[in-house]
Amino acid sequence: MTHARITGTGSYLPEKVLTNFDLEKFVDTSDQWIRERTGIEKRHVAIEGQSTVDLAERAARNAIDSAGIKPQDIDLIVVATTTPDRIFPSTACLLQSRLDVHGCPAFDIQAVCTGFVYALGVAEKFIKSGSSRRALVVGAETLSRLLNWNDRSTCVLFGDGAGAVVLEASEEPGILSTHLHADGDYEALLRVPYGVSQGFEAMDEVNSKIEMRGNEVFKMAVNTLGRIVDETLAANELEKTDIDWLVPHQANIRIIQATARKLKMPMERVVVTVQEHGNTSAASVPLALDTAVRDGRIQRGELLLLEAFGGGFTWGSALLRY
Ligand code: COA
């Protein structure tokens, strides 16, 4: 049986950093409030002219190098993003051109913060069905473009970044299962209300930015992530103690801690990078994965549980043997 296995990881954070102390200068907030409620210490922000595909390309090249292949070996490109460079072509097509890859399928996935887990699930199915042998799966965002800097309840939470993996057909086990879900009834809790089908004249400074009812999102995220952990373990007939590493969506340290408690996992086995970059939406899971692979925490053969929750609502998980 053909498996889909991660053979390379990469990530990229823009050089420009905004610390909580920087935010104190123009937002009615404090380092202490942000740190205590979210665990975030700073976020990276794309400078003017720097776009999602710029970040995606850096992460993708890092992942391709670490897999020891050439861009031209890639036969599928999936980019998860909520902040595409253009209405069209897709960011995946723009990335394909940057990488000088031609002809293979390339498309974007929009599942907000669950985007990377969705993209991984889709690419895995391409590989298992024999349609692809080497997929580039990217999560990339310039979420700072969607922030209302007058809304302190959202603008302190998000940042920009990109993460990527190369997923290859292999005889050795890799991804064991993916679990993807959505419920469109929760739009009012987390959204950007403007969309192009309303016509550009309907767009203004406020409706084109993130709106969130943070407290309600928080409770939904904790409950939903708890359920998806149970679903993933049950589908694989595994116990909580079998998981070596939890690689969660990096939105809020308190949500991450709640999921770790549910798994009875000590925080030493949970990859936490939220303090470095805030919530980077679709980029956050591959950013965390790449960080822990590169610093040597995650080792080949270990069992990883990736999970995410985001706008839609969408939520999902991937269990994999690294
Ligand atoms: N700085 C200082 N005070 C702030 C603030 C900020 N940046 N943002 C909100 N506050 C204030 C509020 O105005 C409120 O003040 P009040 O009590 O005088 O009305 C107070 O802090 C508490 O607000 P509340 O929204 O109840 O705080 P909270 O404990 O729920 O924390 C979040 C707010 C946003 C950190 C939290 O709800 C959260 O993380 N939610 C999930 C968000 C998320 O991860 N979304 C993405 C999912 S993919």
Per-residue model confidence as pLDDT tens digits over 207-235: 999 999 999 999 999 999 999 999 999 99
Beta carbons within 10 angstroms of residue 94's beta carbon: 23
Q: Is 132 in the pocket of ligand 1 (CB under 6 A)?
A: no
- 10 Å CB burial of residue 296 (0-12, 13-18, 19+) is exposed
Residue 256 scores a pLDDT above 90: yes
User: Are 222 and 258 in contact, with CB atoms under 8 Å apart?
Assistant: yes
Confidence at residue 1, expressed as pLDDT on a 0 to 100 scale = 83
What is the pTM for the complete model shown? Answer: 0.98
116 Cβ inside 6 Å of ligand 1: no
The whole-chain average pLDDT of the chain stands at 97
Mark whether 113 is an active-site residue: yes
Please tell me if the CB atom of residue 153 comes closer than 6 angstroms to any atom of ligand 1. Answer: yes
Rounded CA gap, 133 and 104, in Å?
A: 11
Are 270 and 278 in contact by the 8 Å Cβ rule? The answer is no
C-alpha distance from residue 139 to each of 55, 167, 283 (Å): 10, 14, 4
> Tens digits of per-residue pLDDT, 126-152?
999 999 999 999 999 999 999 999 999
Closest-CA residue, ligand 1 atom 31, reads 37
User: Average pLDDT of 175-186?
Assistant: 98
pLDDT over 90, % of the chain = 99
Please give the distance of CA 53 from its chain centroid, rounded to a whole number.
15
